[in-house]
Structure 1
Amino acid sequence: MVLTGALPSVPPMTENTESKSHSPRHKRDLTRRKVVIAGGGAVVAVGVGGTLAAGAFAGEKKQGTAATGEACYQLTSETTEGPYYIDADKIRQDITEDKEGIPLTLRIKVIDSETCKPLRNAAVDIWHCDALGIYSGYESLSTGGGGTPPTDAPSGTPTGTPTGEPPSGAPSGGTGGGVHEEPTDDERYLRGTWRTDKQGFVTFRTIFPGWYRGRCVHIHTKVHVSGTWTDAGYEGGNTCHTGQFFFDEEAVLASAEVEPYSTSTTERTTLTEDTIYDQSGTTGGLLKLKYKKNDIAKGVLATITVGVDPEATNTGT
Structure 2
Amino acid sequence: MRFSASIAFALAAVAVAHPGEDHHDELEQRRSFEASAERLSLRHCAETLKARGVIERNIKRRSVLIEEHRRKRGIKKRDLEDVLNTDHNKTDLGYTPNTSAEILFAGQNSCVLTPEVTLGPYYVSGESVRRDLKEDQEGVDLILDYQIIDVTTCEPVPELYLEIWHCNSTGVYGGVNNQGNGNFDDKANINKTFGRGIQPTNEDGVAQFETLFPGHYVGRTTHIHLLAHANATLYQNKTLGNDIYSSHIGQTYFDQDLIDEVEALAPYNTNTQVQTTNARDGILAQAANQDYDPVVEWTLLGDTVAEGVFGWLAYGVNMTATEKVTPAVFRYEDGGHTNPNFGGDGPGGPGGPPPRDANTPEDKLNRGFLDKLLNPSRPSSLNGTASIILSAPPYSFKPSSVGLCYIATIIGVFLGTFFSGQIGDKLVLYPTRRNKGIYEPEYRLWIYGVLVLVVPGALLLWGVGAAHQIHWSGLLIAMGILGAAIAAGRQIPLSYCINSYTELGSDAIVTIILIRNTMSFAIGYGVTPWVAGMGYRNAFLVAAFVAMAQFSLAFVFIKYGKQLRLKSTASYFKYLEQVKNDGLIHQFDQITKPIGEASSRTQFGK
TM-score range, shorter chain: 0.5 to 0.7
Query: Does structure 2 retain, via aligned residues, the 8 Å contact 1:240–1:310?
Result: no
Post-superposition offset of 1:152: 4.7
Change (3 A) 1:33 1:191: closer
Q: 1:258 aligns with which of 265, 284, 290?
A: 265
Matched, 1:75 2:112: yes
Query: Does structure 2 retain, via aligned residues, the 8 Å contact 1:57–1:305?
Result: no
Q: CA RMSD in A?
A: 3.2
Post-superposition offset of 1:75: 3.1
Q: Percent identity, aligned pairs only?
A: 28
Post-superposition offset of 1:265: 1.2
Trace 1:234-249 onto structure 2 (pairs within 5 A): 234=240, 238-249=245-256
Letter of the 2:161 counterpart: A
Q: 1:308 aligns with which of 305, 314, 317?
A: 317
Q: 1:106 aligns with which of 130, 137, 144?
A: 144
Secondary structure of 1:272's match?
Answer: helix
Q: Which has the larger radius of gyration?
A: 2
Q: 1:192 aligns with which of 192, 197, 202?
A: 197
Change (3 A) 1:294 1:309: same
Change (3 A) 1:297 1:191: same
Change (3 A) 1:309 1:289: same
Structure 2 stretches lacking a partner, 5+ long: 1-35, 49-101, 326-347, 350-606
Question: 1:80-102: per-residue Cα shift (whole Å, max 9, x none)?
Answer: 21101001312111010010000
TM-score w.r.t. length of structure 1: 0.64
Change (3 A) 1:242 1:208: same
- Number of the residue aligned with 1:30: 38
Letter of the 2:267 counterpart: P
Q: 2:275 aligns with which of 264, 268, 273?
A: 268
- Number of the residue aligned with 1:17: none
TM-score w.r.t. length of structure 2: 0.35
Structure 1 stretches lacking a partner, 5+ long: 1-27, 40-52, 61-72, 145-149, 154-181
Letter of the 1:299 counterpart: G
Q: Which 4+ runs in 1 deviate beyond 6 A? A: 36-39
CA distance in 1, matches of 2:127, 2:287: 31
Secondary structure of 1:81's match?
Answer: coil
Q: 1:124 aligns with which of 162, 170, 181?
A: 162
CA distance in 2, matches of 1:198, 1:258: 37
CA distance in 1, matches of 2:221, 2:273: 11
- Number of the residue aligned with 1:291: 300
Post-superposition offset of 1:58: 4.7
Secondary structure of 1:306's match?
Answer: strand
CA distance in 2, matches of 1:199, 1:234: 22
CA distance in 1, matches of 2:47, 2:269: 51
Change (3 A) 1:268 1:38: closer
Higher relative contact order (CA 8 A, sep 6+): 1
Trace 1:29-178 onto structure 2 (pairs within 5 A): 30=38, 32=40, 56-60=105-109, 75-76=112-113, 79-138=117-176, 141-143=179-181, 150=183, 152=185
Structure with higher helix content:
2
- Number of the residue aligned with 2:209: 204
Structure with higher strand content:
1
Change (3 A) 1:74 1:205: closer
Change (3 A) 1:264 1:104: same
Letter of the 1:97 counterpart: E
Change (3 A) 1:36 1:275: closer
Letter of the 1:88 counterpart: G
Question: 1:109-165: per-residue Cα shift (whole Å, max 9, x none)?
Answer: 011011111111111111000000001022553445xxxxx3659xxxxxxxxxxxx
CA distance in 2, matches of 1:284, 1:249: 14
